[in-house]
Amino acid sequence: MYPEIQPYKHGYLDTGDGHKVYWELSGNPQGKPTIFLHGGPGGGCSPTHRRLFDPAVYNILLFDQRGCGRSTPHASLENNTTWHLVADIERLRKEVLKTEKLQVFGGSWGSTLALAYAETHPERVSELIVRGIFTLRQEELHWFYQEGASWLFPDLWEGFLAPIPDAERGDLINAYHRRLTGTDRAEQIKAAHAWTRWESHTITLLPSASHVQALSADDTALAFARIENHYFVNKGFMDEGQLIRDAHKLAGIPGVIVQGRYDACTPARTAWDLHKAWPQAEFQLIQDAGHAFDEPGILARLIAATDQFRT
């Protein structure tokens, strides 16, 4: 990865409907504009994400999506949909980067948001780099939160089931929604930790203590679980299969799709479907990787992609 850097500018975007979205710029102020879209939803950005881009070449915009990270109000679900976030990106493009076009980079949920933005504003995207492809189709949600990945991780699955009584286990996403949006703070925190532990323990090919630790604090876990679950209950606020259906709108955008072969969180089938619908993009299936962006094979290919598009 590129060396650690500090932002040269940061601030808050007042959305006008109750949110203040934290943003930061780092790298070269006169450089090529790029925006990094974090996962979750609800995950927030980290300083590590700045290091995916050559700081001598890129003007790097990171932002914490509504309700998470340094954005306020914390863990808020009000006015928090895919299309609110697409509008936030467009305002950040115009008001912060002040550019006609920008490179868009997103992984996991960030790939969902990147595709939603690029399909809405294809004329604004210079290149599109997506990783760990996730489009919120019902079968994708069912795989990870109901039946599928549980067959690979039966020991970890027991922890995910633990907060939910047997009678409610036929629809776990909605059962968690009731607890994460309830009024009992202790039950909220218990559910949030069970939700985040399931994801943080299963996103890498081999166990990773750093990914588990990243979501261990109560407030971080609550924002992540509440916002993520809110989006999943509402199917991403999109039509079923919308992002694959509309991938033809990406035809004029240079792109790279990076996917781990053994991704148990967002299985390779979705990345393959996107590849078939957007054949103009370079497709990279990493044979020794799971889901996380910092697994060696995935990380190497992501940095190669940002280097490829430097000029």
Active site residues per annotation: 108, 263, 291
> Which helix (DSSP H) or strand (DSSP E) does residue 27 occupy?
strand 20-27
First to last CA, the chain: 19
DSSP 252-282: TS-EEEEEETT-SSS-HHHHHHHHHH-TTSE
Helix then strand then coil, in percent of the chain rounded to 5, is 45, 15, 40
Residue type, 43: G
Q: What is the largest CA-CA distance in the chain?
A: 58
Taking the CA atoms of 19, 68, 131 and 242 in sequence, report the sign of the dihedral they define.
negative
Tokens 């939700």 sit on residue: 195
Give dist(CA 96, CA 287) in Å, integer: 38
Give dist(CA 130, CA 115) in Å, integer: 8
Q: What angle do CA 214, 90, 122 make, to 5 degrees?
A: 105
